[in-house]
Amino acid sequence: MINVLEQRRAQIHRKGESTAPLVCDRKSVAGSVTQRACAFCGSRVVLYPIADALHVVHGPIGCAAYNWDIRGALSSGPQLHRNSFSTDLQELEVIYGGEKKLKQSLGELIDHYRPKAAFVYSTCIVGVIGDDVEAVCRQVSREKGIDVIPVASEGFRGTKKTGYQAACEAAYKLVGTGDTSSIGPCGINILGDFNIAGESWLIRRYFEEAGIEVVATITGDGRVDDLRRCHGAKLNLVQCSGSMTHLAKLLERDHAIPMRRVSFFGIEDTAAALYEAAKFFDDPGVLERTQVLVNREVGRVYPELKRYRAILEGKKAALYVGGAFKAFSLVKALKLLGMKTVLAGTQTGSPEDYALLREICDDGTVIVDDSNPVELAKFILELDPDLFIGGVKERPIAYKLGVGFCDHNHERKIPLAGFEGMLHFAREVHASVMSPVWQFVPRRAARAVGQPTRTPPTPVNHPAHAPGDGGRPASIDGALHVNSED
């Protein structure tokens, strides 16, 4: 019997049992061992994919090791971001201050790597001893002639979301310093895709085909110069709203660039995101090319998705992710595959996010904010899903409890965004849920008794395109809506 901490009860809802709003957006309860990372980690994951910048962690080596290459974000050029430089503060610096060491480290690294800019992350101990990181950054910036930007990311400052905000503030220092004269009339920025497995490239291809210029992908496959000129775009598309809304709001406030929240996970949301941009520009050519692209891509992936749906129909999934927008898209994508979401949780959802999540989930779905491993284990045991979708911290929970796992976070190597991403997702879900290994897990095997339709793994071929079933489908059993008029 696993119990939920008394102070956390209001952060958990079971749809259909209560209409009160879910309590969220607050500090984690002490001792609950939250799944959230610290503010420093929040900053680091957001800025990390800027590949031609130097990222220096001012603090003990443990902080730098903790999130070294954490996202595995891909770069089409420089790879400097994949290093984790640290000032490796020791007892002596904790007593006498670490400014001297920081200045020396920055000097050596800038001389050696010649980065376009440098970000300096403050960790907990730096906040405790009171190093004047800003002053050191100003001085090094003057001496070396590049932007050296402090990131106010002391781990204890707040939640991971506080770190996101600090990262946005730091990145914004570069915005507005570049030349925008070469940017065309249909320019957009994509905020909140981190190019973990090449998603930014895939999305960029879609827009380019539609005739929309992607000025900056922030921060997936990011570049310092792109950030400098991103204020020349006409529209900001924000995917990871938890991490990037603050930057989008700054761009809206100072450069009058409107923002739209979008998602590139799932067929419906990808199509909606493409149409959102196409309609914004009010250019018939752009809209027509977008329609052609959506029709072609849906026609390409639809037949195979239909086959997966026939096998996965009725299976149950649990998901726990960082941002709410990903949760919305996953619930819809699972629905498209005939699966029911029995647990949906996020680390950083807002009251509006949870209201929407409740709307799209079925009755009985457990909705949880800022959960912890014990709670998640409790719900997995109780709800008995066939699949758990999460990140690196949720993986061991799934494995220990004998549940199939799908990584939808930092560690994946196959892109799950866009139309072909949906196909990759369906293949992965199918492979995990239908794996023959479950017959050796006593709890799963016992459940399968008397349910012969669920147990035998059904072989499915994985053609990129199934012949004879092309054309644009209106829906998969009525579940898919990708019309431009939607």
Give the residues lining the site for ligand SF4 (CB under 6 A).
Answer: 38, 40-41, 59, 63, 66, 123-124, 155
C-alpha 464/C-alpha 277 separation (Å) is 27
Amino acid identity for residue 285 in this structure? G
Considering the complex, what minimum distance in angstroms separates the CB of residue 476 from ligand SF4? Answer: 44
Considering the complex, what minimum distance in angstroms separates the CB of residue 470 from ligand SF4? Answer: 51
C-alpha 358/C-alpha 12 separation (Å) is 12
Minimum CB distance to ligand SF4 smaller for 291 or for 372: 372
Minimum CB distance to ligand SF4 smaller for 66 or for 405: 66
Minimum CB distance to ligand SF4 smaller for 43 or for 290: 43
Considering the complex, what minimum distance in angstroms separates the CB of residue 96 from ligand SF4? Answer: 20
C-alpha 4/C-alpha 11 separation (Å) is 10
Residue of this chain nearest to ligand SF4 (CB atom): 155
Residue 146: C-alpha distances to residues 115, 119, 229, 270 (Å): 8, 11, 16, 38
Considering the complex, what minimum distance in angstroms separates the CB of residue 339 from ligand SF4? Answer: 36
Minimum CB distance to ligand SF4 smaller for 160 or for 430: 160
C-alpha 226/C-alpha 76 separation (Å) is 14
Minimum CB distance to ligand SF4 smaller for 43 or for 217: 43
Q: What angle do CA 432, 263, 305 make, to 5 degrees?
A: 40
Minimum CB distance to ligand SF4 smaller for 154 or for 199: 154
Minimum CB distance to ligand SF4 smaller for 41 or for 417: 41
Q: CA 51, 413, 350, 176: dihedral to nearest 10 degrees? A: 20
Residues forming beta bridges with residue 407, ordered by sequence position: 390
Would you list the DSSP string of 102-143? HHHHHHHHHHHH--SEEEEEE-HHHHHHT--HHHHHHHHHHH
C-alpha 63/C-alpha 460 separation (Å) is 44
Considering the complex, what minimum distance in angstroms separates the CB of residue 128 from ligand SF4? Answer: 10
Considering the complex, what minimum distance in angstroms separates the CB of residue 66 from ligand SF4? Answer: 5
Q: What angle do CA 200, 203, 206 make, to 5 degrees?
A: 150
Considering the complex, what minimum distance in angstroms separates the CB of residue 147 from ligand SF4? Answer: 23
Interhelix angle for 284-312 vs 199-210, to 10°? 140
Minimum CB distance to ligand SF4 smaller for 83 or for 455: 83
| DSSP reduced 3-state for 190 | strand
Considering the complex, what minimum distance in angstroms separates the CB of residue 283 from ligand SF4? Answer: 46
Residue with tokens 């809209």: 287
Tokens of 232: 């020349």
Residue 218 parent element (H or E): strand 213-219
